[in-house]
Structure 1
Amino acid sequence: MWISTLPEALSEWQRTLCTAPLWQLADDTLVATEHAQDSAWLVAVGEALNPAALSRLGKLLGEQRVSAVLYPLPEAARPTLLLGCDRFSPELVAALREHAFAFDVCHLRTLPTLAQPGLLVMDMDSTAIRIECIDEIARLAGVGEQVAAVTAAAMQGKLEFADSLRNRVALLEGAPVSILDEVAANMPWMPGLPELVETLKGAGWKVAIASGGFTRFAGELQRALGLDAIHANELAVEEGRLTGKVTGRIVDAAVKAEELTALGEQYGIALTQRVAVGDGANDLKMMAAAGLGIAIHAKPVVRAQAAASIEHHDLDGVLCLLQASRAATLRWTR
C-alpha cells in the first residue's frame, strides 16, 4: 500500500489499515505483516502528522537501515504515531535532529508504560510553570535585569548553578516577603500540567517536583495538584524581609538526580519507569539518572543530550509520549 493513499487525517486511518494486524514501513509504502517489533521506538506527536509526514519518516528510517512497524494509533492527548523498531540507532537520532519537523518526534531505546507503576519528576520553573520565579521576584524587587541575565546563563550551563543562585538571591536582600505571595498568586501553569498529573496519578504513578527554585512556589503546586513530593530551595526570611540567603543544601543538578533516584527506590519504581522532565542544564543529571529524560522547550545544550525533546507542544506532548506505549499491545482490526 502506498502511504500517499492514506486519508489525510490520522483519525480516518483505521478503516484503511484494518485489513492487516500490523504494517511494515518501507520508504513510501506500508506492507502488511503479523510480526511486531519492539527493540526500540519512534514516537511522533502533532497536528501536522499526515501521510506525507509518515513517508518522510519512512525515508529517514530507510536511510539508516532501521526496520519499523506502524502500530495502531494510541489514544493520546494529541495525534500520535507509534512505530516499533528492530534496533536503536544513534545515527537515526542525529538525522531526526537535523530535520525541521512541524511535529515532535523521538527515537527511544525504551518507552515507559502507564500499565505499570511509574515515577515522573519535573523541574518547576519553565517546565511545570511558564516563568522563572526568581526572575519575577527580582523584577518586583527592582533588580530584574541583573538577575534575569544570570538566570539565562545558568540555564544554558554557562555558570555553576549553586554559585549563580547564591549571587542572584543576594540581590534580593531586603525585599519584602509579600513579593513571594504576589508571584505565587500569579504563577502561570504550563499548559497540560493538570491533565498530565491527573492522568499519571490515575494510572498509579507518583509525580514530584525537584527544583532549583523555591519551596514557596513548589508547595503551591503540591497543594493544588496533590503532588507526591517536592524538593526545592528555601529562602531565608527575617522580620518579614528576604535576607539574601538560601537556607540548607542548594538543589543543584546533583541533588535533583539524587532525589529522583531516592524517590524511585522509596516507591519501588523500576528504572525504566522513571521519567525526568526539564528545560535547563541543571536538569541534565536528573535526566541521565532516569529511564527516560524529556526536554521541554529546552536550551540547545539540553536538547542535544536529552533522550526525547518536546518543542511543538507543552506538557501535553509529554503526556502523549507516555500514552503512546498503550498501542504496542494492539493490532489493527475491523
Structure 2
Amino acid sequence: MAEEVKAVLKNADAVCFDVDSTVIREEGIDELARFCGKYKEITELTAKAMGGGMTFQESLKMRLSILNPTRKQVDEFIRTKPATLTPNVDKLIALLQRKRIPVYLISGGFKCIIEPIAQKLNISEENVFANRMKFYFNGKKLLNVQQKYSNYLF
C-alpha cells in the first residue's frame, strides 16, 4: 500500500486535504462550541450529521443557530485555542510543496478558523476552500454563512 501511495503522490498534479480530523486533530466547530460553552449540543448534531442522519447543510444551519457566536468570540477562539496538527502532516505538505505539487485545504468548516492552519503550513489563502461566517457590521450577531463550497463537497 505504501508503494501505491508513493506512486500516486509522485504523479499528482495537486493534492487536496480535508481539514477537520485530518490535517488537524480536532473538529473546528466542536472546539468553537466548547469555547462558547455549547459543546454538548453541537457535538450531538455533528455526530448525527456524520452518521448520515441529516444533510451537512441542515446540520451546519442547526449548529450555528445554537452556537450563534459573535465575531469577538471567534477571534478570541482563534487566538487562544490554536488547532493541533495531525502528526507529520506538516512534513507531508512540505514535501509536496518542495516537489511543486499544489496543496489545497477543502472543508465544510470555516475559512476564518482554517486560515491560521494554512499559514502554519505555508498554504496560500487562495488554496483554502471553506464556508465563511458573515457578521453584522458590529460583529455581535452572526448574519449568515456563505456555503459557497459545501454544496459541492457534501
User: Shared fold (TM-score greater than 0.5)?
Assistant: yes
- 1:145-224 matches, within 5 Å, as 145-173=40-68, 175-185=69-79, 186-224=82-120
Which structure carries more relative contact order (alpha carbon 8 Å, separation 6+)? 2
Query: Aligned-residue CA RMSD in angstroms?
Result: 2.3
| TM-score for the superposition, normalised by structure 2 | 0.83
1:241 matched to which residue of 2? Answer: 140
Stretches of structure 1 that go unaligned for 5 or more consecutive residues are 1-42, 45-81, 83-107, 257-281, 283-334
**Per-residue CA shift, 1:27-61, capped at 9, x if unaligned?**
xxxxxxxxxxxxxxxx15xxxxxxxxxxxxxxxxx
CA contact (8 A) 2:83 2:117 kept: no
More helix by share: 2
Unaligned runs of 5+ in 2: none
SS of the residue corresponding to residue 90 of structure 2 reads: helix
- Please state whether the residue corresponding to 1:171 is helix, strand or coil: helix
Question: Is the strand fraction higher in 1 or 2?
Answer: 1
Deviation at 1:244, TM superposition (A): 6.0
Q: Distance in 1 between matches of 2:117 and 2:109?
A: 12
Aligned mates of 1:227, 1:182 — CA distance in 2: 23
User: How far is the alpha carbon of 1:158 from its aligned partner?
Assistant: 2.4
Shift of 1:143: 1.7
Aligned length: 149
- Which has the larger Rg? 1
1:132 corresponds to 2:40: no
Q: TM-score of the superposition, structure 1-length normalised?
A: 0.41
Q: Percent identity?
A: 26
Cα gap change, 1:211 to 1:198, in 2 (>3 Å): same
Equivalent residue of 1:231, what SS? strand
CA contact (8 A) 1:171 1:244 kept: no
* In 1: Cα distance, 2:9 partner to 2:41 partner: 43
Task: Give the 4+ runs in structure 1 shifted more than 3 A.
Answer: none
Which of 141, 152, 158 does residue 36 from structure 2 map onto? 141
Aligned to 1:121, which of 5, 8, 16? 16
